[in-house]
Amino acid sequence: MRRLSTGSATVTELAVLSGMSLPGVSKHLTVLEQAGLVVRTVQGRVRRCSLQPGPLHEASTWLAEYRSFWESALDSLAGYVATAPRRDEPDTRDR
């Protein structure tokens, strides 16, 4: 997908860049097409792929909404882990 972020490319170009076989690249592209991330167009015998970034922007927006919640939760967990006794130490927190 990094290559497609700079513009469209043929399936053959993507296969060469990735070091994968044409069928392997085609399988990956089919999954990306089903996710709405890539569109393939046919020009004669050439299949050209283009990135459709819309779903990625939607996912990024959704993740940004929850980022502060998860950062806070993970900071709390890190604080707990830092103060929790190790298994080989007795628990002295409640004494």
Q: Are 32 and 69 within one domain?
A: no
The first and second tokens of residue 46, run together, are 């050439």
Give the tens place of pLDDT for each residue, 31-69.
999 999 999 999 899 889 999 988 888 889 888 988 988
pLDDT band at 84; cut points 50, 70, 90: confident
The number of folded domains in the chain is 2
Q: What's the whole-number mean pLDDT along residues 76-92?
A: 82
Q: Are 48 and 62 within one domain?
A: no
Q: Are 58 and 45 within one domain?
A: no
Q: Which domain holds residue 58?
A: 53-85
Q: Are 27 and 67 within one domain?
A: no
Q: What percent of the chain has pLDDT over 70?
A: 92
Q: Are 48 and 60 within one domain?
A: no
Q: Are 13 and 30 within one domain?
A: yes
Q: Are 28 and 67 within one domain?
A: no
Q: Where are the alpha helices (DSSP H) in the chain?
A: 11-18, 22-34, 54-83
Could you tell me if residue 16 is inside a domain?
yes
Is the torsion defined by CA of 88, 90, 92, 94 positive or negative?
positive
- Give the predicted TM-score (pTM) of the model: 0.61
Residue 33: other Cβ atoms inside 10 A: 14
Q: What percent of the chain has pLDDT over 90?
A: 49
